Structure 1
Amino acid sequence: MHIAQKAACVSLLLSVMMGGTAVHAQVPPATTVPPAVLGQWVTRNHKGVFEITRCGDNLCGKLVGLNYSDGIPRDQTGRSECGLPMLRDFVRDPDQPDRWDGSILDPNTNHVYQARMWVNQSGQLKLRGYLGIPMFGQTQTWLPYNGHIGPDCKMST
């Protein structure tokens, strides 16, 4: 079975498992199957939601939702953190195609760190920020976000 055929079978199976209708499903070629990291993810402390999208040939992510009670959180320069592009230039790792390598901005310090992200078997996004090599870093676990984001980037609770 060719790779494209395997990808089509997996995609069709996932469509059926997620409640889609297999009768009318059209499976895109294997090269256009979106990576599992695309979508909205809530941070480990449930204070923010990031949306990971395609940016040309790469992936990027920005803060789209915040959990706050008094005024929109702002960065060091006074700008709203809402919409801040913090995940930048992620490219598929050639040795591990399920992983993406790029950089992440810490808005509190304006430092940019190298980063790696992937989705584990439980459907959680793993994001590892590091200096130099991944061994010297920290991994956060983010969950898919299915809530609502209201006006002014406010997350529903």
Structure 2
Amino acid sequence: MNRFMRRVARPVALAGVLLCGALAAHAQTDTPVGVWQTIDDQTGQPKALVQISADANGDLSGKVIKGLSGKDQPDRRCTACTDSRKDQPILGMTIIDSMKKTNDGWEGGHILDPENGKVYRCKMHTEDGGQKLVVRGYLGIALLGRSQTWVRQQ
């Protein structure tokens, strides 16, 4: 390889490595997979940590791994739930299920509000380079619901 080619090849190769690293870092944070801090709607205070994971098909689910508010004792149960989660501990409970990737984010699944025991349809998408997760629970159509913004934990 001549001197000119070496001068050109090194910077191009370095740029390629840096670009691949940046894309990989972006890809890792552009997914909801990870641990998220939820925020209480009424107080604005941190409420719980939810771990979102993917199954073999790429569908997402989320479970409560830690309560953060003063009223969240480890033995707290979902007394308002009406399905198989009735009276089960909230800690370790799956509250998000069957989320599928779409062009705009993830949807098609459900989310449980352990406070009232209601199950809502769910859609979500990441923002701020994957550092925030906007989670929308709704009945019927997405316009009839509420959104929460969760914060990624390291």
Q: Distance in 1 between matches of 2:88 and 2:20?
A: 41
Whichever structure has more helix as a proportion of its residues is: 2
Residues paired across the two proteins, number: 122
Q: Distance in 2 between matches of 1:51 and 1:88?
A: 12
The residue aligned with 2:78 is 75
Q: Distance in 1 between matches of 2:39 and 2:68?
A: 12
Identity %: 27
TM-score by length of 1: 0.66
Instruction: Give the gaps of 5 or more residues in structure 1.
Output: 1-7, 19-29, 147-157
Larger radius of gyration: 2
Q: Distance in 2 between matches of 1:133 and 1:100?
A: 15
The residue aligned with 1:155 is none
TM-score by length of 2: 0.67
Instruction: Give the gaps of 5 or more residues in structure 2.
Output: 1-16, 41-45, 80-85
SS at match of 1:80: coil
Q: Deviations over 1:65-97 (max 9, x none)?
A: 11244632221044321110000100012xx2x
The residue aligned with 1:99 is 105
Shift of 1:130: 0.7
Task: Give 1:1-157 correspondences, 5 Å limit.
Answer: 11-14=20-23, 36-45=31-40, 46-57=46-57, 58-69=59-70, 71-72=73-74, 73-76=76-79, 77-93=86-102, 96=103, 98-101=104-107, 102-122=109-129, 123-146=131-154
Following TM superposition, the consecutive aligned residue runs of length 4 or more in structure 1 with deviations greater than 6 angstroms are: none
Instruction: Kindly report the root-mean-square deviation, in angstroms, between the aligned alpha carbons of the 2 structures.
Output: 2.8
